[in-house]
Chains A and B, each alone.
Chain A
Amino acid sequence: MKKFLKTLIPTELAKGLLLTGKWFCQVMFSPNRGKSKLHIVDEYPEVPAKVQPRFRGRLQLLKDAQDEIICVCCMACIKACPTNAISLVAGKKEGRKTRIPESYDFELERCIFCGFCVESCTFNAIALNHQFELAVYNREDMAIGLGGVFQSIDKPSPVGKFSYSGKE
């Protein structure tokens, strides 16, 4: 009898209708969509997409306040990398006590974005920035080094036109 009445008077269905009706009214009658955003989606290509703070994008060498690479070539990232995506040659520079990378090569094709290199770095010299639009036209452009023609490891990728890189 109770089941019969439940089928006859569908309160759950009414609850569902009320919920979706509320959402419909919120989105439909929000006076200014830009100011008070009641929908949960973004308009991605026109509006830069916001990623989560812990998002792991492309590897990037960070620089200090004097616009100099922080990396001291301790090779911890190379040891930590499970796919051998990183290789570097250490060099010297006038007026700098520590070593500085002569070349820092990063194979984007092989990277699995695990973030172990960033964890292993004790100098906070590298980071996975917030870029996710990493497609390129030539395969050679996937190999990223210092002072590259297309993209350089110490700068955010020029491909990501709409995504913003959190750590410049």
Chain B
Amino acid sequence: MPEMTPVQTLLIAIIQIVLVIAFVFVVVPLTIFAERKVLGFVQQRLGSTRIAGKLRGITGLQNRFMWGMGRFPIIHYFRGLPGLVGDIVKLFIKEDIRPAKADRFVYLIAPCVSMIAAMLVYAMIGFYPGTLFTIPSFIPLIGGLPVGGTIADVNVGLLMLLGIASVGVYGIVLGAWASNSKYPLLGGLRSAAQMVSYEVPLTISMLTPVILAGSLNFNEMTRVTATGLSPWGVIPLFIGFFAYITCGFAESNRLPFDMPEAENELVAGYHTEYSGMRFGLFYLAEYINMSIVAALASAFFFGGPWLLPFGLQRFIPETAFWIGQPHWYIFAVKIVFFLFVYIWVRGSWPRYRYDQIMDVAWKYLIPMTLVNLVLAGIVRYFA
């Protein structure tokens, strides 16, 4: 690789950032749509199949067209997509209302904090193994340079991930406080306690693959969990995975741990007073956090982003057609699966009460992850 000047590095980073933002703004609405459909299917409904409107006119035409699509086996899953577009347009053009007694500055930056904390984590996630593409040489200044699949390949990726992810709670707490209303405040207080509590078992459970691999370096960790894992190592990895995914649900404020939002008790929790695109930023941040938790679950516990989980990779010859080499679609399959699990769990389980949430974190998850950590150490030492 040729040595790059700071300007070239910056330009290439900007290209990567634009790509990642485009990716996020395509994938997150699709996740929202998938949530509607999957929740529908889980409850023996059909999910969103039409848009609001009249029997006549353009909406009627669209609805009749979508109903006609219902006869075709695969296509009918996507009938509600125009409604999703309508939702996004509504978020953008809706009036942005600010409560009269709200703390103006904090009220304005709170959704941005939430969104930025969520988006920054994407800098550490490698979407594509190696080089994504090489810029054609006729472009001045940056021609011929490779664009990598990761924005920032940090050696202490784990620490940076946890550090940035824990900033996300500020967005919620600040927004809740600045709204100057009691429901958001209650939601914000709960979320502060909940997210701080769950940060502890989350971190401890993420240490399991670190101990098993003996390295904080992301690539090294991936390589070991995918290929060099001893059979006994699967046990602590699996326990750690369950602890991690539980904490991940709690960290991203999803059901069954949706204390900050609490639709059924507080009106809408911390974003009650928000409307328009500010609410949209909170909404997007929630889904981005979901995908980040899914990506990290696959990266830490399921054998790295691009390889097969549980040391299965070493049984596959490197010349195997689809799964022999690291590929982005293995990552995509893992992320889609974990997002599905998110929605599946939401459709299946009732919510926890507040004291039960605290019980689960402090009485069960933290001791469990600590024991699991010791177990991982034993496996690492003897096997």
Given contacts A31-B73, A46-B67, is CB(A23)–CB(B43) below 8 Å? yes
Residue pair A41, B38 in contact (C-beta under 8 Å) = no
Chain B residues closer than 8 Å to A28, beta-carbon distance: 41, 77
User: CB within 8 A of A45: which of B55, B71, B344, B347?
Assistant: B55
Residues of A within 8 A of B42 (CB): 20-21, 23-24
Nearest chain A residue, comparing its CB with the CB of B71: A34
Known contacts A46-B64, A46-B67: A33-B349 contact under CB 8 Å: no
Are A38 and B348 CB-contacts (below 8 A) given A8-B368, A24-B38, A32-B73? no
The residues of A that contact B348 with a CB separation of less than 8 Å are 13, 16-17, 19-20
B101 near A: Cβ within 8 Å? no
**What residues on A are CB-neighbors of B345 within 8 Å?**
17
Question: 1/0 per position for B24-62, CB-CB distance to A under 8 A?
Answer: 000000000000001011111110010000010000000
A152 CA / B45 CA spacing, docked (Å) = 38
**How many residues on the B side are at the interface (Cβ–Cβ under 8 A)?**
26
| B326 touches A (CB below 8 Å) | no
Query: Of residues 23 to 58 in A, which have CB atoms within 8 Å of B's CB atoms?
Result: 23-24, 26-28, 31-34, 38-41, 43, 45-46
Using a CB–CB cutoff of 8 Å, the interface residues on chain B facing chain A are 38, 40-46, 49, 55, 63-64, 67, 70-71, 73, 76-77, 344-345, 347-349, 360, 364, 368
- Give 26 CB contacts A-B under 8 Å: A8-B364, A8-B368, A13-B349, A16-B349, A17-B344, A17-B345, A17-B348, A19-B348, A20-B344, A20-B347, A21-B344, A23-B41, A23-B43, A23-B44, A24-B38, A24-B41, A27-B41, A31-B73, A33-B70, A38-B44, A39-B44, A39-B45, A40-B44, A41-B46, A43-B67, A43-B70
Q: Please report A residues at the B interface, Cβ cutoff 8 Å.
A: 7-8, 13, 16-17, 19-21, 23-24, 26-28, 31-34, 38-41, 43, 45-46
| Top 4 closest pairs, chain A to chain B, by CB | A27-B41, A20-B348, A20-B42, A46-B67
